[in-house]
Structure 1
Amino acid sequence: MPLTLASLVHHSALKLTVRSGEGRLDIPVRWAHVSELADPVPYMEGGELLLTTAMTLDAENPEAMSRYVRRLQRAGVVGLGFAIGVNYDEIPEALVTAAQEADLPLLEVPRPTPFLAISKAVSAAMAADQYRAVTAGFEAQRELTKAALAEGPAALLARLASHVDGWAALYDASGAVVAAAPEWATRRAARLTADVERLRERPAPASAVVGSPDDRVELQSLGTGRRVRGALAVGTGAPLGTAERYAVHSAVALLTLTTERSRSLQAAEQRLGAAVLRLLLAGQPDHARAVSGDLYGGLLDAPFRLLIAGPLAEHGDVAGLTEAVESAASRAGEAVLAVPENGRLVILAADGGAAVGACTAYEPEVGNEIVIGLSAPTGPSAAAAAYKQAEQALSVARRRGRSLVEHDEMAAGSVLPLLADDAVRAFADGMLRALREHDATGRGDLVASLRAWLSRHGQWDAAAADLGVHRHTLRYRMRRVEEILGRSLDDPDVRMELWLALKATSTAEEES
């Protein structure tokens, strides 16, 4: 317990007498300071017991004493000790009245008690209190360490909340609440997400104090590097004392060690995940299952999705998505395989799980946009096909300027939007160029005739009717098409390529 005026009054060797402010003796005393100045305020910091003999004070002047006492109060002086038997045989009534009116504790110091004795008593009490705080802090550190090693972060938070007589919460790198103690604090901690996100924007280590005086919350970043790996929130009804501060610092150190250890484990898991992915893509699902063991085995027992994510810009990165996916999977208690691949990120996650949901809901930072391709639900034996699906979806996402495209969406839609690709249009223009140059000379309408004939599946009479020409005319035009292109219209591959070329050019004309 901190030293108070009451402690000094009850000190048998000091023999102090209370002359005013009896109801305010429970105020903590930070120091005892002797001053005979008429205005000692410039030298006060607040929390002091001021000791004086009134050598330079006009102690019998009511107005002067009223001003003197008010100045002391505004400076944060917690009490005034007046020595009798030196300059005054008793405390002047003007000072007693001023102290009573201001409710400032006024202590009468008898002649045999030197000010040095009071200073020593204050110093000894503060040293004892500091020792108790340090001892309590070390004891808290032992308890927190034991809890962290034996039961994990949740138990550590419970011990910390008990030590600070408040609550504590742990946030992951994405700013989501991982654990809180007591249980009711989870909802309170969730309301601080925006404050945690602002803390993450600052280089580690960083701290902040939020809330009101009676609902005070300290936020501490976790991580040894400049990148914040998590955050600790500690909520109390008052500023932390020395012992509580030791406990918080110990918790920050232990949680940081846990975070850094987790990063090492994640690196090892990532290497194992890369091996599992290579086996799956090589068509060896049984070997992949054997290697994955308990870590990824459950992931391969149910339908999963394969996602490929890449930065939209040349210098972007997918680190933010990695954190979001792994955090979502951790909170949901599900396995996820995330493997970096040449600046991209390959993710194997449970179909309909939290990790896939985190990908679809991911909002990257401005200037670091990414695109994602998502395969159809699949299993271990078809992982290679799912990889190709995700790559195709990623390519379509880039061309269409969309953040995410699912392969199912491509399969269920029309192929015609894919013809808008510049490479496809270049192919179409090259294939039809000779026919268009022929038509430009006014010697026939071969392109329109070819389109009509293909749309009627090679039915001469129907196509000729659409064009308003005789079927023999149409037959002549199709022979000219074959001659100009040097390809036979009896070949179904040729007819398919010509039809796609016509559709691609018509799509381009419609867009222009």
Structure 2
Amino acid sequence: MRWLLGRRELGLRRMAGGAGDDAEITFVVTSELERPGEWLSGGEAVLTTGIALPPGPDDRRRYVAELAECGAAALGFGLGLRHDDVPDELIEAADEHDLTLFAVPLPTPFVAVAKTVTDRLAELQYEAVLLASRAQPRMTRAAVSGGASAVLKELSVACAGAVVLLDTQIRVVDTYPADLDEDVVGSVVDLVTRDASSAVSSVSSGPFGIVVTQSIRVEKRGHGHLGVVFAHEPRPTDQVLIGHANSLLALDFEKPRRLHVQQNRVHAAALRILLSGEADRGMARDVVNAASDQREEIRVLTVLDLPAASETVVRAVDDALAAATRPVFLLEDDDRLVILLRGGDTVEFADRLFEDVAPAKRRGLRIGLSSAHRVDDLPTAVEQSRMAAASAERRGRPEESTALAGRALLSFPESRRVLDGLAEILVAPVVDHDARHGTELLASVRAYLEANGQWEAAAASLGVHRHTLRGRIARAEEILGCDLSIARVRAELLLAIIARG
């Protein structure tokens, strides 16, 4: 409506109902009926010269109210034939019902207004078709390079709606945007749950907008459900794009296993190139970027101590990622397995990837998860996850790299050997003294060190007086020949005690 009022060549003048200027016009109709609202379907701009306009003020207000109730987009009032000015009652009622009321000057024929709107609707339809024709190839390329998650992103951008992908059990597999409000996702789940047994597709109005859902199936084989939430009325081209995305998702789910294996090999090769440090890594980066999230960030899982039959672990992780509609990036190298996840994936998601690994085999795995990194920082993320895995216990549960503090030095053989040697030099003499004399110097020293040299706190933890603790520490300093007031000495001695266990 706002666009139509801006056509200067028509000379239209808004008289009331400015709040309705954003209304969409679907058609222009000329009517001189006393109650034209009975014949409207909604979205029309009604043009009248007021020939049959009721004479009474209340009837005129009711005339406008009925148009608003029937969903009319606007009322155009022609001047110069029956009325020289727009009646005040129409202006008051239009403001009351937020219905745009505009005056049509005598030189402007109604057919000119209708033709202008018709031409504009044709332009918009052509533009929508053009946008859809451009979006479809992008969605197809996304399906080839990035799988289902990339298709969801392109569909969301093309339709300007939020997209939800559900599996055959109506569980959420993926959304775009990734941080889509849980209530919005829940509304899609509720609609699919309601209609799954009776409808292949549906369009419903909900608390968050208009929801279009479609079942993803090939013949009788179902693969899940696709839902799109619109803040506006879906256009015909939106339905075309949803159907195209549905077909691409179905093809991806029907992908033969051998094709899936070949694609995984391409992904693994791209990973090797990025990790090799070769100068020209642009194409490899583009491939690996399919594993990233909306911020182009990834996390890396490293699995150490793989069993001899490592293919069972690899297959389980591969199947879990494929079930989550993720592109599979796995790189098995020596005794480790490197897995790429999205930057926003949680440690709980990483843990679920190993649910189908036999418990006996899973318990022997050490698994580390890096923090989120840009794709260009892949080597850093891999090293970070390797360190986390090296320090993890053999229990088959991912350890995040952020949990490394306090135990990293004890987890690596090189640093462990140094600490073990230090323990023989610094700790063994105190242990021998305790054994010979029945003292508790080692426990006292550890309490003192872990209390950061605070006498009161250390003494309280041991249940002794601080003067007693001072005497024990002084005796330990004599045995070791060191000064525990020096921070560096305290740090080395504490690490040696911890290493000795």
Question: What TM-score comes out, normalization by structure 2 length?
Answer: 0.50
